[in-house]
A = this chain, B = another copy of it.
Amino acid sequence: MRLLLVEDEARLAHALQRGLRADGFAVDVAGDGPGGLARAREGGYDAIILDVMLPGLSGYRIVRSLRQEQNWVPVLMLSAKDGEHDQADGLDCGADDYLTKPFSYVVLVARLRALLRRGAPRRPVVLTAGPVTLDPGSRAVTYAGAPVELTGREFDLLEYLMRRPDTVLTKTELLDHVWDASPQTDPNLVEVYVGYLRRKLDRSLIATVRGSGYRLVSAASGGV
Contacts and interface: CB of A to CB of B under 8 A. Distances in A.
B168 A139 contact: yes
A185 interface: no
A131 interface: no
Given A31-B42, A32-B44, A168 B69 contact: no
6 contacts: A10-B42, A29-B42, A31-B42, A65-B170, A139-B168, A140-B166
Interface stretch (A91-99, A106-114, A194-202, A210-218): A210-218
Contact of A167 (B2, B43, B45, B137): B137
Contacts of A212: 139, 152
> A10, A30, A68: which has the most chain B beta carbons within 10 Å?
A10
Main secondary structure of the interface of A (DSSP, over half): mixed
Contacts of A30: 43-44
Contact of A44 (B7, B39, B183): B7
A222 interface: no
A88 interface: no
Contacts of A65: 170, 172
List 3 tightest A-B contacts by C-beta distance, closest first.
A31-B44, A31-B43, A152-B211
A14 interface: yes
A2 B8 CA distance: 9
A34 interface: yes
A13 B31 contact: no
A17 B35 contact: no
A186 interface: no
Contacts of A41: 176
A34 B183 contact: yes
Interface in A22-47: 26, 28-32, 34-35, 38-39, 41-46
